[in-house]
């Protein structure tokens, strides 16, 4: 009996039992952190793009196909340019989605099939707090974060040692940014997971190449898997495709007799996965990346803010590609000033910038270090060139924060650098080293720690302004069972169309480019062109997203260029205290005016 007890104690201290206990304690801590966040820091979906993905995933889960209720004028234009229909009116309740690649919406669709709640909000709207389907989506994202924590632990252990792995995992779990990304609804945390898997594949290539007897078969296999991960990432967010460049370059420098084989394997598998989706987009819209590919135009002088996706007739003939160069420079300057200092949401990311510049003794580790630097360079280019209005609406947590995908890999090198520095210190007691590393980790996680101290960062789970789900379900006329909308063939025009569609099931379009066009213009890109000839607009809903930024010039000017703008439309309402004459939506519901504006077809 005593011998069995001794064996058990030995097993827990130095044997396999120690790993089991460590894993159990780690999982319990992470689940406890997730419960803590869902109790005190939970928020409903915080980004427009997350709501758009959610409504798309719901359509997939319900067997409606890869279709969206968000009616972007740009998407309508691209689809009709390809189809060339005799009747321009949209007869279906939804259109093929041209904005989102398929991997994350399909994963989310499978998760929504397990949703234990109804989409309809039950109870008093004034006491509303949590939208349960949003909570269900957040749980999926938190699961992805926990997987990422495990992957970074294994990566740190492979590249350095178990101390580096544990410290890297603790730093990722203690980063406020990634916990907040769980409430965004977009696939950012899935891309973090895929980036870590990609790093593991390349680490396996290095291990196979460094073996006493190198195995070309294993090298090719892991290279192909790295390409597959990049392909899946590109099918989650198109910008992830940029990472095939540093992956291919890295594989070219792996010490193997046939250096051309691994990069070709990675490229081949990546494009084998990605090309069918490109073909689908080209067939439907004539554009390989659908409407998402037009983000390069967004934020330029010709297409300011979000005007590119609101344009039914984009004026590409007046666009100058020097505008893209200027956009890149302006965004890069802003990223250097604001994004880089808080890159990765953790101070270890800044330390890692130093760690990435210092060489290591192992050639394979050095190659992975330069691979990480290469990823930062290409993602910097993609982020600066592809920024849109989404970044201004939701800084840091937007899906356009591409550098956040690769930051956890940099964390590992930052931790390795810190441990190397600490090992230069002569300690008088063995416990001093782990205590110092713990203190460093806590200092790096200061933002996370301060966020846990009352008063909490968020007063309510409701992300208002501008989103208030009970109002949106009322506007969209959702049925009592939450399975449909009473407005089947009409749509709402709004500055938050994805929110309208997700919370109410009603089709919605962004604000048209103009309120009304000048009668002398041959091409009229305005409300009437969209409502009269594409799909009837039954209601107009504008939130603080538009109302808070009204320029005085747009409100009071009467110039020809100003009169066509929505600013002038709102200015007339403010001055005259009534809806402009001739506008078809005369039913003014003043629930929240002047915070928000809601107009609909007036009941006869």
Task: Give, to the nearest 10 degrees, the angle between helix 244-252 and helix 363-386.
Answer: 160
Q: How do residues 435-483 score in pLDDT, each as one tens digit?
A: 999 999 999 999 899 988 888 888 889 999 899 999 999 998 899 888 9
Contact 300, 315 (CB under 8 A): no
Containing 537, the helix (H) or strand (E) segment is strand 537-542
Q: How do residues 160-186 score in pLDDT, each as one tens digit?
A: 999 999 999 999 999 999 999 999 999
Residue pointed to by tokens 């920024």: 387
d(CA 160, CA 171) in angstroms, rounded, equals 16
Q: How do residues 392-431 score in pLDDT, each as one tens digit?
A: 988 889 999 999 999 999 999 999 999 999 999 998 888 9
- Per-residue confidence at 549, pLDDT binned at 50, 70, 90? low
d(CA 109, CA 272) in angstroms, rounded, equals 24
d(CA 573, CA 593) in angstroms, rounded, equals 11
d(CA 253, CA 263) in angstroms, rounded, equals 10
Q: Tokens in use for 26?
A: 């780690």
For residue 581, what pLDDT is reported?
Answer: 86
Task: Give the percent of the chain with pLDDT over 90.
Answer: 64
d(CA 121, CA 135) in angstroms, rounded, equals 13
Q: Which residues contact 475 (CB under 8 A, 6 or more apart)?
A: 492, 500, 504, 506, 539, 541, 598
> Residue 353: what are its φ and ψ, rounded to 5°?
-60, -35
For residue 316, give the DSSP letter.
Answer: G
Contact 566, 580 (CB under 8 A): no
Strands 537-542 and 491-494: parallel
For residue 462, what pLDDT is reported?
Answer: 93
Average pLDDT of the chain is: 90
Contact 359, 366 (CB under 8 A): yes
For residue 554, what pLDDT is reported?
Answer: 55
What pTM value is reported for the model?
A: 0.94
Each domain of the chain, given as residue ranges in start order, spans 2-41, 133-451, 464-604
For residue 550, what pLDDT is reported?
Answer: 66
Q: How do residues 42-67 score in pLDDT, each as one tens digit?
A: 999 999 999 999 999 999 999 999 99
Q: Reply yes or no on whether the pLDDT at 22 is more than 80.
A: no
Which of 235-249, 391-405, 576-590 is the most confident on average? 235-249
């Amino acid at each position: 009996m005593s011998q069995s007890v001794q064996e058990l104690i030995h097993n827990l201290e130095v044997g396999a039992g120690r790993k089991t206990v460590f894993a159990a304690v780690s999982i319990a801590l992470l689940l406890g952190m997730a419960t803590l966040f869902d109790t005190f820091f939970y928020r409903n979906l915080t980004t427009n793009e997350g709501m758009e993905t959610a409504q798309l995933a719901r359509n997939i889960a319900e067997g409606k196909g890869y279709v969206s209720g968000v009616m972007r004028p740009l998407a309508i234009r691209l689809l009709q340019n390809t189809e060339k229909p005799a009747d321009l009116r949209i007869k279906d309740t939804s259109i093929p989605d041209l904005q989102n690649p398929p991997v994350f919406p399909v994963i989310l669709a499978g998760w929504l099939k397990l949703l234990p709640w109804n989409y309809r909000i039950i109870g008093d709207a004034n006491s509303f707090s949590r939208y349960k389907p949003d909570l269900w989506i957040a749980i999926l994202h938190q699961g992805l974060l926990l997987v990422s924590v495990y992957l970074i632990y294994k990566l740190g252990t492979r590249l350095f040692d178990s101390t580096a792995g544990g410290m890297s995992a603790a730093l990722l779990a203690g980063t406020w940014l990634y916990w907040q990304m769980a409430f965004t609804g977009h696939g950012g945390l899935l891309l973090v997971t895929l980036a870590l898997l990609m790093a593991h594949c390349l680490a396996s290539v290095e291990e196979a190449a460094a073996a006493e007897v190198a195995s070309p078969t294993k090298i090719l296999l892991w290279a192909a898997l790295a390409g597959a991960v990049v392909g899946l990432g590109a099918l989650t967010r198109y910008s992830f495709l940029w990472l095939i460049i540093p992956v291919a370059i890295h594989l070219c420098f792996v010490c193997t007799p046939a250096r051309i084989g691994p990069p070709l394997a990675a490229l081949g598998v990546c494009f084998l996965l990605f090309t069918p989706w490109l073909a689908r987009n080209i067939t439907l819209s004539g554009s390989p990346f659908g409407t998402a590919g037009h983000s390069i135009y967004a934020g330029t002088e010709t297409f300011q803010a979000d005007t590119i996706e609101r344009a039914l007739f984009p004026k590409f003939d007046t666009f100058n590609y020097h505008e893209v160069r200027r956009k890149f420079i302006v965004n890069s300057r802003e990223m250097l000033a604001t994004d880089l200092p808080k890159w990765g949401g953790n101070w270890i990311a800044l330390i890692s910038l130093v760690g990435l510049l210092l060489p290591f003794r192992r050639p394979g580790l050095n190659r992975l270090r330069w691979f990480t630097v290469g990823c930062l360079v290409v993602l910097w280019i993609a982020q600066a060139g592809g920024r849109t209005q989404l970044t201004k609406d939701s800084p840091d947590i937007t899906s356009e924060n591409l550098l956040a995908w690769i930051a956890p890999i940099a964390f590992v090198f930052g931790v390795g650098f810190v441990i190397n520095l600490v090992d230069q210190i002569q300690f008088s007691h063995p416990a001093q080293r782990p205590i110092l590393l713990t203190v460093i980790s806590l200092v790096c996680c200061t933002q996370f720690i301060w966020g846990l101290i009352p008063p909490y960062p968020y007063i309510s789970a409701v992300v208002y302004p501008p989103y208030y789900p009970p109002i949106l379900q009322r506007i969209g006329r959702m049925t009592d069972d939450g399975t449909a909308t009473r407005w089947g063939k009409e749509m709402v025009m709004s500055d938050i169309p994805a929110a309208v569609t997700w919370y109410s099931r009603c089709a919605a379009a962004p604000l048209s480019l103009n309120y009304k066009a000048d009668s002398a213009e041959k091409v009229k890109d305005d409300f009437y062109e969209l409502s009269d000839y594409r799909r009837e607009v039954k209601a107009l809903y504008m939130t603080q997203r538009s109302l808070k930024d009204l320029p005085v010039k747009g409100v009071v000017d009467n110039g020809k260029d100003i009169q066509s703008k929505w600013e002038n439309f709102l200015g007339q309402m403010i001055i005259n205290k009534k809806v402009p004459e001739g506008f078809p939506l005369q039913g003014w519901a003043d629930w929240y005016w002047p915070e928000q504006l809601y107009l609909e077809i007036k009941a006869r």
